[in-house]
Amino acid sequence: MDININIETTQFNELGEKNIIKTNSNGTLYQKKDHKYIIYKEVEDGEETTTSVKIEADMVTIRRFGALNSTLRFKVGHVDISNYLTPQGAFVIENHTKELDIFEGEDILIHIDYDIKIMDMFTGRNIINIEIKQK
């Protein structure tokens, strides 16, 4: 099914400074067994990245392939450690999911609130709100 996906990420650094990133893309939603998958592409600085969002009952997994490569798993109370590969190098990311809300109706709404640590370079909090609408 063709969908439109809106993502708003609010990032807070250790000083409490806030940065908001908004993304809007067209993509595809499909069901495989008990899980839903959303696939969409983004182009930034001429580099394409494909993103896959897997929605399970109590976990969301976001995988990115292409210019950026990463897998982030969000499950309340779970600490996920993963690699984030960028053109600038590889980083280890640790995230601790504090809130995960998934609302499924005509549209799908996902709210994720988590603490993030990128090696010894960055510690902060991110809030991701994802809205998926049928076209």
Q: What confidence score (pLDDT) does residue 11 get?
A: 95
Tokens 């600038």 found at: 88
How far apart are the C-alpha atoms of 82 and 36, rounded to whole Å? 22
Q: What confidence score (pLDDT) does residue 88 get?
A: 81
Q: What confidence score (pLDDT) does residue 56 get?
A: 96
The CATH number of 2-134 is 2.40.128.20
Q: What is the pLDDT along the chain (135 residues), one digit of tens a residue?
A: 999 999 999 999 988 899 999 999 999 999 999 999 999 998 877 888 999 999 999 999 999 998 789 999 999 999 999 998 887 889 999 999 999 999 998 999 999 999 999 988 889 999 999 999 998
Rg (C-alpha) for the chain, rounded Å, is 15
Sketch the domain layout of the chain as residue ranges: 2-134
Q: What confidence score (pLDDT) does residue 123 get?
A: 92
- The angle at the Cα of 133, spanning 130 to 135, to the nearest 5 degrees, equals 145
